[in-house]
Structure 1
């Protein structure tokens, strides 16, 4: 063990033991887990010696005083990199990182299979009314099975908002298994890129008006917060389904309840919530045509192990002088390189 190892502080809960194991195998790195119950003032000594912060992806898993923003970064003069444990990064203030010359990274793509499969599972359960009939049969005998008639996915149109790693995986599953035409809304991708990933680029209103299923796979940012509300639900087809495994806050929950209660939408699959976890009395949980999960789409054994190894290997590479692989604020790269040189003594 070297006398002055580069130090990584972990803020959050459990990823997977593979993260700790991968870091421990490096003799020049040391890992400390931050006690989320302690105030920031009690953590300053440890944070001042930290070179990298690993933080949970979900905002709900981090107390306010440990969100990676201006105040926390001020207590971390030697931090050069902040890493989100998954694809989401709403626990990180990217503008604050950029201003400090700190590079921010995530593990995009690490849970694309898990979230893609979960999304497809929700779509199938909604169309076939599997969860609805399961709950009904536990309450009373069903004599009229035709009253619970569902439909097929085959040939239906799916509209995907956000066509990155997970959105494009959902497109592969839907088109490959069920011959579903794929519409995609992603303002950061051109039509050729979207076509290469199996979709047709459209604007958001066209996607909403033309899709039998609308599925969200974009990050929560100032641009996307509140992007799907009463106007957008009204644009959707009568009898369409809404599915989200993106982030709470992108879709308006009250308006979704109204669209479902009125019968305009046939059902919804909701994995992410404005407040997580939602209370059992949440209005959406009272509707039989809503399938709910507590932000677990990406929480599988395989995905957690993959994300843990990706996160550890990326931090190791960065702290040893390599360029970040999955940058969230590439505009900070020049300042990051200068900060790295000053803090760690080499380029």
Structure 2
């Protein structure tokens, strides 16, 4: 195999430098970096030659013309693989990639521990009213502690929407540490599969009605976009907390504002937003019972290194003709396999 005959590029940043270290150890792989501001005369030949694109998962950090959509695919006719830095793939038009015979993979599970710990931290901080107490102490004298009475999570019910890598880990933590009852809504898993992951399978409406905490942990898809709106917030119990570490646009931010303003729920922990990061004057940031973070649930040193390593190993597996473990669009395989064989002279396994 000739040197650098497999071309991979990325824009702006990688999950971790271990990704570059692993790929650069392979003499048959060339790794190119572009910036959001890269001039067309620099970007165009790299896109035209690329076989793979390692794409950042944060949609608002990536220039629009570098989103993996039909326009970019037209500029990258040799592209075979799009790999997200994380579990999410917001800047990827999966349907356009599938139509073009491009395989899409993600790094699901690589940051599951970090995201699950973040969700649990939000849950406990909210129910113990730690954030409200902290803010009160910083702006008031003689704070009345009896006005800040919290609740225990022990023995309560958590409803998890999406019982994948993160949702399963949240279920383990809540059940094991706090003896909580776990309900879950996931249309892609059977009741037996969910029971094996420690949860009772229920419909979404039932989950919202019965849970003391609702945690959103599903990917953003056509089906999940706007899934949690005014009707869903109205179905929750007044003492319940809403927590999301999934993706913006799954919940309706305006509807959440109204639910909090009318005290239909007790509070919210929000890590993901329709615009990231949200502006300081965002309506949700004006509530003392809203705990906010700028999409940092999966951003830990351990998770970043793990994601970089997984992404590099999966990329090399794909370029070597193996079937990756985390394929987002498996239906593309026949078309992708044909294009791969025409490019490299052998069929992928």
TM-score, normalisation: structure 1: 0.98
Residues 313-322 or 140-149, more deviating: 140-149
Note the alpha carbon deviations across 1:46-73, whole angstroms, 9 max, x for none.
1111111000112222111111011111
Instruction: Specify every segment of 5 or more residues in structure 2 that has no aligned partner in the other structure, as ranges.
Output: none
Q: Which residue of 1 aligns with 2:152?
A: 152
Q: Is the 8 A contact 1:55 1:82 kept in 2?
A: yes
Q: Which residue of 2 aligns with 1:63?
A: 63
Please give the secondary structure, in 2, of the residue aligned with 1:8: strand
Distance in 2 separating the partners of 1:269 and 1:64: 28
From the superposition, tell whether residues 182 and 41 of structure 1 become closer, same or farther in structure 2 (CA, over 3 Å). farther
Please give the secondary structure, in 1, of the residue aligned with 2:312: helix
* Matched residues, number: 347
1:130-149 to 2 correspondences below 5 Å: 130-149=130-149
Q: CA deviation at 1:160?
A: 0.3
Distance in 2 separating the partners of 1:143 and 1:306: 44
Is 1:327 aligned to residue 331 of structure 2?
A: no
Distance in 2 separating the partners of 1:201 and 1:3: 52
Q: Which residue of 2 aligns with 1:218?
A: 218
Q: Which residue of 2 aligns with 1:302?
A: 302
Distance in 2 separating the partners of 1:319 and 1:143: 61
Distance in 2 separating the partners of 1:232 and 1:42: 48
Q: CA deviation at 1:4?
A: 4.1
From the superposition, tell whether residues 77 and 186 of structure 1 become closer, same or farther in structure 2 (CA, over 3 Å). same
Q: Which residue of 2 aligns with 1:232?
A: 232
Q: What's the Cα RMSD here?
A: 1.2
Note the alpha carbon deviations across 1:88-138, whole angstroms, 9 max, x for none.
011111111111111100000000000000000000000001111111101
Q: Is the 8 A contact 2:3 2:29 kept in 1?
A: no
TM-score, normalisation: structure 2: 0.97
Q: CA deviation at 1:173?
A: 0.4
Q: Is the 8 A contact 2:122 2:243 kept in 1?
A: yes
Q: Which residue of 1 aligns with 2:89?
A: 89
Q: Is the 8 A contact 2:4 2:27 kept in 1?
A: no
Please give the secondary structure, in 2, of the residue aligned with 1:117: helix
Distance in 1 separating the partners of 2:261 and 2:177: 31
Shift >6 Å, 4+ stretches: none
Q: Is the 8 A contact 1:110 1:306 kept in 2?
A: yes
Distance in 2 separating the partners of 1:106 and 1:11: 16
Q: Which residue of 2 aligns with 1:251?
A: 251
Instruction: Specify every segment of 5 or more residues in structure 1 that has no aligned partner in the other structure, as ranges.
Output: none
Q: Which residue of 2 aligns with 1:117?
A: 117
1:263-282 to 2 correspondences below 5 Å: 263-282=263-282
Q: Which residue of 2 aligns with 1:195?
A: 195
Q: CA deviation at 1:161?
A: 0.4
Q: CA deviation at 1:319?
A: 0.5
Distance in 2 separating the partners of 1:144 and 1:47: 61
Is 1:206 aligned to residue 202 of structure 2?
A: no
Q: CA deviation at 1:231?
A: 0.4
Q: CA deviation at 1:312?
A: 0.4
Q: Is the 8 A contact 1:248 1:273 kept in 2?
A: yes
Q: Is the 8 A contact 2:14 2:308 kept in 1?
A: no
Distance in 2 separating the partners of 1:294 and 1:196: 33
Please give the secondary structure, in 1, of the residue aligned with 2:266: strand
Distance in 1 separating the partners of 2:96 and 2:40: 17
Distance in 1 separating the partners of 2:40 and 2:53: 14
Distance in 2 separating the partners of 1:322 and 1:41: 33
Distance in 1 separating the partners of 2:263 and 2:40: 48
Distance in 1 separating the partners of 2:334 and 2:14: 33
